[in-house]
Structure 1
Amino acid sequence: MSECKREWMEQVRRYREQHLVSAEAKSRVMPPPIPYFGDEILEMAATALLQGENLLLTGGKATGKNILAENLAWMFGRPVYNISFHVNTDSSSLIGTDTFSDNQVKLRRGPVSQCAMYGGFGILDEINMAKNEAVSVLHAVLDHRRILDIPGYEKVPLAEETRFIGTMNYGYAGTRELNEALVSRFLVIDMPEPEEDTLAQVFLHLFPKIRTSALKQVIGLFLDLQAKASHGEITTRTLDLRGLIGALRTVELGLSPKKAVAMGVTNKTFDLFEKEIVEDVVRTRIPDDWGREDVFE
Structure 2
Amino acid sequence: MKKDSKVIVAEFESYEKTIRKIFDALGDLKNRIKEEKIVIKPNLTINLLPPVTTSVECVEAIIKEILRRNIAKDRKIIVAEGSGGCDTLQAFKDLGYEKLRREFNIELIDLNRVERVELKNEKALKLKSMLFPSVLINSFLINVPVPKEHSSAIITNSLKNMFGIYLSKGYLAEWNMLRRIGVVVARKIFSRGWSKCDLHVLGVHESIYDINLYKKPDLTICDARIGQRDQEIDGKPCTPAINKIFASYDPVAIDSYVAKLFGHDWKNIKYLVYANGKLGNAEDFDIIEI
TM-score tier after normalising by the smaller chain length: under 0.3
After TM superposition, the score normalised by the length of structure 1 is: 0.27
> RCO higher in 1 or 2 (8 Å CA, sep ≥ 6)?
2
Higher strand share: 2
Richer in helix (by share): 1
Greater C-alpha radius of gyration: 1
